Amino acid sequence: MKPKTIVFATGTKDGGGSGAENLVEHSHGGDLDADIVAFVSNHPQGGVAKKAKRLGIPFEYFPGPFDAEHYQSVVAKYDAEWIAASGWLKLIRGLDPARTFNIHPALLSFDNGRFGGSKLYGHHVHEAVKLALDAGEIIQSGPTMHFATEEFDRGPIFFEYPVSLTSGMSADEIADVVNKTEHRWQPRITNMVIHGKIAWDGVDPKSLRVPPSYTFLPK
């Protein structure tokens, strides 16, 4: 049996959900040995719903309340073993942090998590990165994957992949290069998590286990 994985992705009323779509496509004989059991979004007819329909994946409209009881109900409905947040913009509550993980479109290891938090999501992240780039503070961005706790973007980081930026890049250009890197790496790193090669106990960040040969952790 392949690990049952549910994907939470907000998307927009008109688009979004490319990360969730990418996971499904890679689960068909690619880098991800998983059973994607459902897409979840708080937009009933948005991009995530449309992608789920096209891919033949069950879709769950989740308008809230975004509390432990309702999160747990959604996950239990699909008997999911793993929870992947991929562009999910709501705070996750009540789910096992050892089995719940998120991808974020910036390097969370920079400056004590400066590019994360409740106000830094979606395009806001890339705008913040652009400001830092223009100020000469950074020359890189890139995706981060981390286990999800009940605090935005503060769970143990297990993957970062820096990509070079060039002076004068727009927020849209930064978003594009980061998104391409996300799509390249998210399926294979997700596979490592759901098959136990990357793990933690859900309590102590020091319990984080990553293969010794793995080289993309923050320094």
pLDDT at 135 (0 to 100)? 97
In order of start, what are the domains of the chain with their CATH numbers?
A: 4-207 (3.40.50.170)
List, for residues 89-102, the tens digit of each pLDDT value: 999 999 999 999 99
In the chain (219 residues long), the average pLDDT of successive 10-residue segments reads 96 86 92 97 95 97 98 98 97 98 96 93 95 97 97 95 96 97 95 97 96 60
**Average pLDDT of every residue of the chain:** 94
User: Rounded distance, CA 117 to CA 128, Å?
Assistant: 12
Residues 6+ apart with CB under 8 A from 138: 110, 129, 132, 165
**What is the predicted pLDDT for the residue at 219?**
45
* Residue 155 tokens, joined: 């769970």
Pairing of strands 100-104, 82-86: parallel
pLDDT confidence of residue 122: 87
Q: What is the pTM of this model?
A: 0.94
Q: Strand order in 35-41's β-sheet?
A: 59-61, 35-41, 4-8, 82-86, 100-104, 144-147, 157-160
10-39 burial: b if 16+ Cβ within 10 Å, else e: bbeeeebbbbbbbbbbbbeeebbebbbbbb
